[in-house]
Structure 1
Amino acid sequence: MIMDKLPSGSWRARVLIGENKYKTFSGKDKKDVQLRAAQFEAERKMDKPDDPYAGMTVGEAMERYVEAKKNTLSPSSYREFTRIRLSNLSALRNVKLADLTQEQVQLAISAESADHSPKTVRCMHGLLSSTLKMFRPDMTLHTKLPQTQKSEIVIPEEVDVMSLLATVRGSDIDAAVHLGALCGMRMSEILGLRWSKVDFDAKTIHICAAKVRGTNNKATMKLPKSRAGDRTIRMLPAVEAALRRAYQPGAEFVTTLTERTVRKHYQHALELCCGKHYTFHALRHYAASVMILLNIPVKYIADYLGHETEDMVNRVYGHIMRDKKDEIFARLEEYYDNVLKNPS
């Protein structure tokens, strides 16, 4: 039941009777409206004693939801949801779906917030919320979630990237590092890149698949995260050279290494060349920052990196673009200062 106070001062109660369909009760007396709605709701429950979800627990509902969505979720999302339903929200797992209260949900989420990041807790709540929409649509959650933490984008220094590229030359991660740093490709896109999508004649790379960890941590091929992820980019000479060094006749994938091995060898190379720590994903940030500093339009940067909208580029790299705007304005200011001081 959903209670609302209307602008007129009257009260309205709505009882869900179907998908997005409600029976409405209204009046000036809140208790009367609430009573009539409650009676209607009770009568409906008596008329439907064979509710297939009546005895289902929250844990069972989450399992059924995840399995029902299995073929529509990405392998990584399916793996994460499976992990959550097995390892998290234990306080709710044995609660009957029909008996679940907002207070129980809030207490469970607050408990999980003590040991997990806000992002992870929000993922737990997202699974629970989606499960309730499927099996108990009359319950809308109003949970107070932990505040998200704004993470700082770390962009490798150019001298470090150049040193890294020299260090990995001829190694088993030569191509992977070049594709990350100069093409801005995601790790999953690099692992899923087939030689058949590398055209040395046209000097292009068709990025149209990704290799991710699915259930049991097994490598699974999937489509890009969005339609924009399916893209064709031009090969820079340095990237072409790295790919030619890595090419092996008969091989299907550009790299046969696992994600774990690439990351391990990458961190070792960083230690050798600069003694610093940058995540592999930071190479993608480096590629974007170079394009921004070269004044390449945001639309083309988004297209090159495989973002569906320019908004993502603006949000992630906005601080760099602001710095660039300040630099451009300073040059503009200096120009007019000189012109106005020395009029012709």
Structure 2
Amino acid sequence: MRLDVSEVNSYTVQQAINEGAAKVGAKTIKEGVHLVCAALKLYDIAPVLSVTCPARKPKLKDLPTAEQVMSMVRGTDIELPCLLAMWLSLRMSEVRGLQFRDLNGNVLTVCRSNIYFDGRNIVRDVNKTYKSTRRLTVPDYIKQLIEAVPHKKEDEFIVQMEYQTLRSKFYKLLEERGYHITFHDLRHLSASVMLMLNIPDKYAMERGGWSTNSTLKSVYQHTFSDERKQVDKKIDDYFNSLLEVLNKE
């Protein structure tokens, strides 16, 4: 909308929101309003806006089970990135940002993002949010997969496959099985597994790096190491039991 700054008010912004709601999602609309306000604030302009953004529509999906996903990726060259997302609750950018130096014994530090944007990779030594930087205990099975990846330097990426290649192979496997999910849904599946196992919210959020209650409730207290080990063991025992089932088939 080609408006003079003096014309930015509740009415014109609401008009823009209503027009945009027919084209883009509620999250994009909300971020757009925040961007406009932040830009104006740089010039000491702070309009008092009383607007209503569209509510986010719930996305209902029939996710495959964790066992079905493990069976699908077992033995493929995308097994490692898929398990990092589903077992350890990593985002795609976090999976692709891991380097061999981030693994110390069985402890993996998630501290970097490798984002694919506009046809190129953008590596950032920060994650999406403050709480996204975290340390996770790596189960032996995933550690073995990591150690099997050839590398010469510690600052090489653990998942060396390009974004488009990984995405293409993932969707090809899904098509063969008749599943309809995104790679990010593996992270949602991880949250579902933790819910099924009755993992307390504070541990689930720490493990997944969630910092808001849009997916899980906010964390307000420290998670103690002994209790955290019990949580990790409970989750690892579940996925290891799935591996045992697949090994018997």
Give the TM bin, normalised by the shorter chain: 0.7 to 0.9
Q: Say which of 210, 229, 245 aligns to 2:148.
A: 245
State the TM-score, normalizing by the size of structure 1. 0.56
Kindly indicate whether residue 96 of structure 2 is the aligned counterpart of residue 96 of structure 1.
Answer: no
TM alignment of 1:120-131, pairs within 5 A: 120-131=28-39
Deviation at 1:119, TM superposition (A): 2.0
State the TM-score, normalizing by the size of structure 2. 0.76
Contact 1:156/1:283, CA 8 A, preserved across alignment: no
What is the aligned partner in structure 1 of residue 159 from structure 2?
A: 255
What is the aligned partner in structure 2 of residue 19 from structure 1?
A: none
Over alpha carbons, which structure has the higher Rg? 1
TM alignment of 1:104-143, pairs within 5 A: 104-135=12-43, 137-143=45-51
SS at match of 1:219: strand
Deviation at 1:176, TM superposition (A): 0.7
Distance across 1 between alignment mates of 2:54 and 2:211: 28
Contact 1:109/1:145, CA 8 A, preserved across alignment: yes
Contact 1:181/1:286, CA 8 A, preserved across alignment: yes
Distance across 2 between alignment mates of 1:194 and 1:116: 35
Distance across 2 between alignment mates of 1:308 and 1:189: 15
**Given residue 252 of structure 1, which amino acid in structure 2 is its aligned partner?**
E
Distance across 2 between alignment mates of 1:206 and 1:287: 18
**Given residue 65 of structure 2, which amino acid in structure 1 is its aligned partner?**
E
Deviation at 1:111, TM superposition (A): 1.9
Cα-to-partner distance string for 1:128-148 (whole Å, 9 max, x where unaligned): 122233335352122232232
Relative to structure 1, the CA distance from residue 297 to residue 104 in structure 2 (aligned partners, 3 Å threshold; closer, same or farther) is closer
Distance across 1 between alignment mates of 2:8 and 2:148: 60
Determine which structure has greater relative contact order: mean sequence separation of CA pairs < 8 Å that are 6+ residues apart, divided by chain length: 2
Q: Percent identical across equivalent pairs?
A: 25
Structure 2: 5+ residue stretches without partners: 219-249
Deviation at 1:117, TM superposition (A): 2.0
**Given residue 254 of structure 1, which amino acid in structure 2 is its aligned partner?**
I
Deviation at 1:242, TM superposition (A): 1.9
Deviation at 1:127, TM superposition (A): 1.3
Relative to structure 1, the CA distance from residue 154 to residue 98 in structure 2 (aligned partners, 3 Å threshold; closer, same or farther) is same
Relative to structure 1, the CA distance from residue 170 to residue 302 in structure 2 (aligned partners, 3 Å threshold; closer, same or farther) is same
Deviation at 1:163, TM superposition (A): 1.3
Deviation at 1:203, TM superposition (A): 1.6
**Given residue 204 of structure 1, which amino acid in structure 2 is its aligned partner?**
V
Q: Which has the higher helix share?
A: 1
Contact 2:37/2:46, CA 8 A, preserved across alignment: no
Distance across 2 between alignment mates of 1:140 and 1:287: 41
Contact 2:112/2:123, CA 8 A, preserved across alignment: yes
Kindly indicate whether residue 207 of structure 2 is the aligned counterpart of residue 299 of structure 1.
Answer: no
Relative to structure 1, the CA distance from residue 311 to residue 113 in structure 2 (aligned partners, 3 Å threshold; closer, same or farther) is closer
SS at match of 1:135: coil
Deviation at 1:212, TM superposition (A): 1.6
Kindly indicate whether residue 172 of structure 2 is the aligned counterpart of residue 278 of structure 1.
Answer: no
Distance across 1 between alignment mates of 2:212 and 2:11: 38
**Given residue 39 of structure 2, which amino acid in structure 1 is its aligned partner?**
T
Relative to structure 1, the CA distance from residue 238 to residue 154 in structure 2 (aligned partners, 3 Å threshold; closer, same or farther) is farther
Cα-to-partner distance string for 1:24-65 (whole Å, 9 max, x where unaligned): xxxxxxxxxxxxxxxxxxxxxxxxxxxxxxxxxxxxxxxxxx
Deviation at 1:245, TM superposition (A): 2.7
TM alignment of 1:12-91, pairs within 5 A: 91=1
Deviation at 1:210, TM superposition (A): 0.9
What is the aligned partner in structure 2 of residue 195 from structure 1?
A: 100
**Given residue 221 of structure 1, which amino acid in structure 2 is its aligned partner?**
V
Structure 1: 5+ residue stretches without partners: 1-90, 316-344
Q: Say which of 137, 146, 151 aligns to 1:234.
A: 137
